[in-house]
A and B are shown apart, each in its own frame.
Chain A
Amino acid sequence: MSHSRNQKWREIGVLISLIGLGLIMVSPLIWTVMLSLKSNGELLRSTTNAFHPPYTGENYAAIMANSGVFRWLLNSALVSSLQTVGVLILSSLAGYGFARLEFPYRNQLFLIVLFGLAIPEQAVIITRHQMFADLHLHNTYPGLILPGLAAPFGVFLMTQYFRAIPKELDEAAMLDNASRFKIFWKVLLPLTLPAQATLGIFTFLASWNDYWWPLISATRADMFTLTVGIASSQINFAQTSGLGYLMTQAVFASLPILIVYIIFQKYIVRAVAGAAVR
């Protein structure tokens, strides 16, 4: 009796601590949202009254009034979506190849892919910029999308995932008269859906939040992604004189991401917990 009562108190204690930690983590976000609803003039006087009325939508109106913002939203959506689809297709095909096909220098090639994981973007950015300039790909969608398609993590993840699927399934399908592509498409690929979801979410988020490469590649305002566009529209001394507007930009830029998080919450938790494999 007392044992189960102790257990109950312990659970309540854990719950309260978790709620407390959750509030601490979410408080900057709530603060950001509240600040975005304040007028810049009021914030210039004091930033401590964020949780008291009056509230205003003037910052959101100002963002909407910016003629470029919907174009940047579309650019970001297009670049992130296409990059995600591309990474999923290429990583799945490569992963299947590394996991299931016998070909010369397979292990060496896989090692090269793994090396890709260890090379930071900063190390290749100048040569990449030069290459894209030579190919006249700056200020184009391919220019924004292509670099993200080289996804060593995706190839690695999918290879490991395909390897974990029993080969007996391939063999059963071979005896069921399925072609190699059909085995890949109808039997194995559906089984990798959890990994696809994980990879897809991470790719989409990384692409949406990417700032550096779009900043280098897109120099024309109509080719800006949302991150670059919003940053470009900031007035000088934004932190002091335009704090409300700045916070509104942050909210606006992170809304699509928030929606992705809410829809795919289950997969994200699994991915982060490292328990994505079945």
Chain B
Amino acid sequence: MSALDIRNVTKAYGPTTVLDDISLTAESNEFIAFLGPSGCGKTTLLRMIAGLETVDSGQIHIGGQRIDELAPGERGVAIVFQHYALYPHMTIRENMAFGLKNIKTSKTEIDARIGEAARILEIEAFLDKKPGQLSGGQKQRVAIGRAIVKKPDIFLFDEPLSNLDAALRMRTRLELAQLRRRLKATMILVTHDQVEAMTLADRIVVIHGRKIQQVGTPMEIYGRPANRFVASFVGSPPMNFLPVTISGAKAVATLSDGTALTTDIANLPESASWELGLRPEHVRVSDTGVSAKVEFVERLGERTLIYARLSDGTAITAEDVGLSRLTMGDEVHLSIDAQAAHLFDADGRGYHAETA
């Protein structure tokens, strides 16, 4: 039995359909990330699970029970809001106890649960303070603590790290991963940050244009993107797309300058046009290869990103060593690892080498 089962769910605001026929299952103790650009409907889907948005059609089941018609409090879910949503006039202890008091939990049980959550999250020292006295990171922990004490079947996180500064975000991400191991609960994270999704989730659900684009493990999403959108959205800097012509059983992709690249991709269908997808790490500056002109150099320390243009005008991003001496305007040669390439047909569908 799945922990979460979303069946053909649709949501519209007036004439605008936000989510169209979404189906998805999550197993018990699984960590799922909803990933997509702003406005793609990922938060709406999370809110529908929580009961904060109605479901137009379709059903949502948790632990085998249909919950989409239940009140939010009766669904066995807890949500950690983007802006924490702590009750400002209550102490941290009262914030965490509020939900438990409402379901008539005994005082000893409430104290025990708060004590346990506070210990896990290291917030014991703040229990008698008010939210206004805490920093953003501390508020975030309290918001998570308020969810933990409820012992929900599913934890829902709505962009929980987006309000934190870069350093704190990284630390909290790590803590969230540790917390997840300790709690052994089903968790759903909504994020537009692919690094969060890649590092935390067992499976990523990429949502765009009202639809689920792909569901898979982080490496499946990165290594075998189902379509051009997933390929371009996941990965930083994004994948290169070069127009090519295709021939041969094992596809040979020919660039506009005549360079032929033998890929490991076989059994391609007919398509009006093809694009070769290359991650920047598979395009490296070398002594031989495709020639290009450097337009911009980004020095990241351990590696250098080269933004260049091929002779036909196509933009391409490549990698060079950390101590690269290239500067803007230089002519370079790029060696392409065609074995790691992807192909996308005219409809944007992705094709990959069997072993990729």
Q: Which chain A residues have a beta carbon within 8 Å of chain B's beta carbons? A: 166, 168-169, 171-178, 182, 186-187, 190-191
Contact = CB atoms under 8 A, between A and B. Distances in A.
Contacts, number: 56
A184 to B, nearest CB: 13
Contacts of B86: 172
Interface string B60-77: 000000000001111001
A80 to B, nearest CB: 28
A178 B146 CA distance: 14
Secondary structure dominating the interface of B: loop
A169 B71 contact: no
A16 to B, nearest CB: 37
B81 interface: yes
Nearest to A190: B89
Given A176-B73, A191-B89, A171 B81 contact: yes
Contacts of A173: 87, 98
B183 interface: no
B81 A172 contact: yes
A256 to B, nearest CB: 30
Interface residues of B, number: 24
Contacts of A168: 81-83, 85
Given A166-B85, A191-B88, A191-B89, A175 B79 contact: yes
Contacts of A182: 102
Contacts of A166: 83, 85
A177 B103 contact: yes
B53 to A, nearest CB: 10
Contacts of A169: 85, 87
Given A171-B81, A175-B77, 4 more contacts: A168-B81, A177-B103, A191-B88, A191-B89
B100 to A, nearest CB: 8
Contact of B85 (A171, A178, A186, A190): A171
19 contacts: A166-B83, A166-B85, A168-B85, A171-B52, A171-B72, A171-B79, A171-B85, A172-B87, A172-B146, A174-B51, A174-B71, A174-B73, A175-B50, A175-B72, A175-B77, A175-B79, A176-B99, A191-B88, A191-B89
Contacts of B71: 174
A174 B72 CA distance: 6
Nearest to A165: B88
Contact of A176 (B81, B82, B89, B98): B98
A171 B88 CA distance: 14
3 residue pairs, one from A and one from B, having the closest CB atoms: A176-B99, A177-B73, A168-B85
Contacts of B50: 171, 175
A190 B95 CA distance: 14
Nearest to B104: A177
Given A182-B102, A190-B89, A175 B78 contact: yes
B83 A178 contact: no
B158 to A, nearest CB: 9
Given A174-B72, A177-B73, A187 B83 contact: no
Interface in B79-118: 79, 81-83, 85-89, 98-99, 102-103
Contacts of A175: 50-52, 72-73, 77-79, 99
B77 A177 contact: no
B51 A177 contact: no
A166 B85 CA distance: 8
Contact of A178 (B77, B79, B81, B98): B98
Interface centre among A168, A172, A175, A190 (most CB of B within 10 A): A175
A169 B71 CA distance: 16
Contacts of A187: 87
B34 to A, nearest CB: 18
A174 B52 contact: yes
A172 B85 contact: yes
Contacts of B88: 191
Nearest to B83: A168
B337 to A, nearest CB: 47
A172 B142 CA distance: 13
A233 to B, nearest CB: 47
